[in-house]
Structure 1
Amino acid sequence: MKNLTAPAVSLIMALITGTGCNHSANNTQPEPVPVKLYQVRAADARQYTAYSGTIEESETIPLSFASVGTVAEVRVSEGQFVKKGQLLARLDTTTFKSAWKMANAVQQQAEDAYKRLAPMYQNGNLPEIKYIEVETGLQQAKAAAAIARKGLDDCNLYATTDALVGKRSVNPGMIALPNVSSITLVKISKVFAKVAVPEDEISLIKTGDKAMVTIGALGSREYAGTVEEVGVMADPLAHTYKIKIALANSEWKIKPGMICKVTIENPGLHQGLLAPSLAVLVDETGKNFVYVVDPATAKATRKYVQIGGMLANGLEITAGLNRDDHLVVSGQHNLVDNAAVRILPN
């Protein structure tokens, strides 16, 4: 074999060194994935459930005339505050006055006949049957006059309580009918937030529970309230139950019909573990999973979990996790099962 020249030896050594470097590079471990962790804890037993609802008045009082007649005057407008006994509206009284005058005339005639014939009966100059006839005629005349007077009085419509005029359904010249509301009074010094609660949650709500009502129309102002009514009849289509939360409304700023958000405290509603929503991922089959890191080994393990419900500050996990597990909440999308991680401070 011929002796190798110095340049040839240098070339061979360079090739060997390059081959060794490439082989070493191919065996290099992937860099640990930087992650942030969250320590699993029990879900707070005091959870708050939110519902949408509407405001309604505490009491509605529809008022109607007792007789058919033409409306002569309406003295109030919608939104006006009225006192008990205040005159709200009246009917034209022409016909009723005539009927009352006629009934009074008949009563006066009957009274005159009775006064003249009563002494004759007492003296034995008038048969008893005739006396009874006159006495009965007087009683009938008095009753007819009383009915006519009531008809005249019923031409006036008065407020039955202190309240606001919620709706005015009549104007002068219209025909008012009995049992058809002419003016509706509402009481709003106390109002109700009325919401529908799903059937699987209604058993957790009882009268006296505290609630917070937020009204967007009033600048998202919050009002503290109390559950005052819990319905017992379900909506046959929606399978929900109506509940009412009472609110003090001394300033009358809350109006019936306003949309509101109601948050009710439900003790003991959630008994699982709490996990941040962003920590829970979904695989290609639709199953929920998380990455749990053992700080001692700095390895991320995929764990499948079951979700119980949505909470105000995360998700309720009912299976798949242990208390004090460390979940990946940042960098989880770059992980695979058993990946090495580098834990970053929170």
Structure 2
Amino acid sequence: MKPASFSLLAILLSSALTGCDSAESAIQPSPVVRPVKLMTIEDMAQAQVRVFPAKIAASQQADLAFRIHGELVKLDLSEGQYVKKGQLLAKLDDRDAKNALLNAEASHELAAVDYDRKKELFARKLISKAEYDTARATLKSARAALNTARDQLAYTRLEAPFSGTVARVNLDNHQMIQATQKVLTLQGNSQLDVSIQVPESLLLSLKNNSFDDTFNPKVRFQAPKTLAIESGFTPTVLTSGTVMTYPVQYKEHASTVSQGSQTYEVVFSLIPPKDLNILPGMSAELMLDMTAHQGERQAITVLPLSAIVRSDNEQITSVWRYNAESGKLESVPVTVGQLRANGIEVLSGLTPGDEIVEVGANALKDNMTVKPLRWERGV
């Protein structure tokens, strides 16, 4: 090939490469649209209801035991069984107690006859006063021994002090047991206790009012979800759990702080509803209407701290509100209140229906284009 041909080929290749570089540089990268997690501001009136985790306990509970030792010969109870007041729950071997009672009755009868005889002789002045006093003291001692023997026989029987449910059975039949050894636990089921832990500021605000007058307390339970079996034996959720709410009455509150926290225990009473099997030890939620507690303040909503932006220079507190039409963020100044366990109170600046960035507010900018982060299949 001639030198002129080589020169022409080099010029053509150089032009082609230069054209490619120009085309590539003309393609600009599209801006990255950042996904953000949003939360919708609910009706402010609902934010006035404060929810506390609650614990259910029996208002009346007793650990039952015998007052004497002996062999357990009757214990035919099962846990969860309902018993009535005065019903026989357990029994010890009572043969020794019955024999002791017979001896005490015989001694008492003999002492009573002797006393009557000597009382008549003393009235006729045939015996001294000392002999009469001895006979009277012997009768009293025999009567005390007789009462003790009757009590010992009664102690071989363990009866229900109140109507309720057998919560736990600790022993079996034919065991030798000691006095005061726990046999079973009995729980009353006519009334339940609902206990919560409240901060000291809440108790201070009560003054002379009670929880019933101020907070309209209610307890709620979450019923389990209903499942159905479809073709292929695959379980499918038909209905979500039903929330059931019941009124409760204030009972008492502790006057000493709970260990490990600056809170106080408050107990409410609940009459067990017939449509729900509530047992001691179950968990629930107790709701208090905080409208009266807030006084003249505006309605409150609670946001997580990750949604709050604080400006150190201008001393402004704000949040990021998402505009669905433009897909951009705008800064909204807000007034905040007290710090709670689940976030911080927002007293003004927001309205129901606003979509607020929930996480990572400090990393965003005004007029920034974002897209809502959608959660699918639990991810």
State TM-score, norm by structure 2.
0.62
CA distance in 1, matches of 2:56, 2:248: 14
Secondary structure (helix, strand or coil) at the match of 2:61 reads strand
What are the Cα deviations for residues 49-99 of structure 1, in whole angstroms up to 9, with x where unaligned? 112122111211333322233222114322211122211111111221222
- Alpha-carbon distance in 2 for matches of 1:257, 1:276: 30
Give, in whole Å, the separation in 2 of the partners of 1:291 and 1:115: 101
Query: Are the aligned partners of 1:66 and 1:179 in contact in 2 as well (CA < 8 Å)?
Result: yes
**Post-superposition CA distance 1:95-144 (Å, at most 9, x none):** 21222122222223323433444443333332222222222212211221
The residue correspondences of 1:89-108 to structure 2 (distance < 5 A) are 89-108=90-109
Root-mean-square deviation over aligned CA pairs: 4.4
Q: Are 2:248 and 1:244 aligned?
A: no
In 2, Cα distance between the equivalents of 1:147 and 1:101? Answer: 12
Shift in alpha-carbon separation, 1:148–1:264, aligned structure 2, 3 A = same
Alignment partner of 2:288 out of 251, 264, 268: 264
Equivalent residue, structure 2, for 1:193: 194
Query: 1:230 pairs with 233, 240, 253, which one?
Result: 253
Q: Which stretch of the first structure deviates more once superposed, 88-97 or 60-69?
A: 60-69
Q: Is the 8 A contact 1:273 1:323 kept in 2?
A: no
The partner residue of 1:308 within 337, 343, 363 is 337
Aligned residue identity for 2:87: Q
Amino acid at match of 1:158: E
% identity of equivalent residues: 22
Structure 1 runs, 4 residues or longer, greater than 6 Å off: none
Give the counterpart letter for 2:211 in structure 1: T
1:216 and 1:260 in contact (8 A); partners too: no
Compare 197-206 and 162-171 and name the one that shifted more.
197-206
Q: 1:131 to 1:164 in 2, by over 3 A?
A: same
Instruction: Tell me which residue corresponds to 1:169.
Output: 170
Give the equivalent residue in structure 1 for 2:211. 207
Letter in 2 for 1:188: N
209-218 or 102-111, larger mean C-alpha shift? 209-218
Q: Secondary structure at the match of 1:140?
A: helix
CA pair 227-234 structure 1, distance change in 2 beyond 3 A: farther
Q: How many residues align?
A: 294
Conservation of the 8 A alpha-carbon contact between 1:46 and 1:268: no
Measure, in 2, the Cα distance between the counterparts of 1:153 and 1:57.
28
Residues 53 and 285 in structure 2, CA contact (< 8 A), matched pair in contact too: yes
- Show CA shifts across 1:232-284 (max 9, x none): 32113111111223322143710001121222211145534667959956489
Q: TM-score, normalised by structure 1?
A: 0.68
Q: CA deviation at 1:165?
A: 1.7
* In structure 2, distance between residues paired with 1:53 and 1:71: 39
Seen in structure 2, the aligned counterparts of structure 1 residues 127 and 234 have a Cα distance that, compared at 3 Å, is: same
Q: Which runs of 5+ in 1 are unaligned?
A: 1-39, 294-298, 341-346
Q: Where does the alignment leave 5 or more consecutive residues of structure 2 unmatched?
A: 1-40, 226-240, 323-327, 370-379
Matched position secondary structure for 2:256: coil
CA distance 1:103–1:222, shift in 2 (3 Å)? same
Question: In structure 1, how many angstroms separate the alpha carbons of the residues matched to 2:42 and 2:222?
Answer: 33
Cα distance, 1:322 vs. partner? 5.3
Amino acid at match of 1:240: T
In terms of Rg, which structure is larger?
1
Aligned position for 1:120:
121
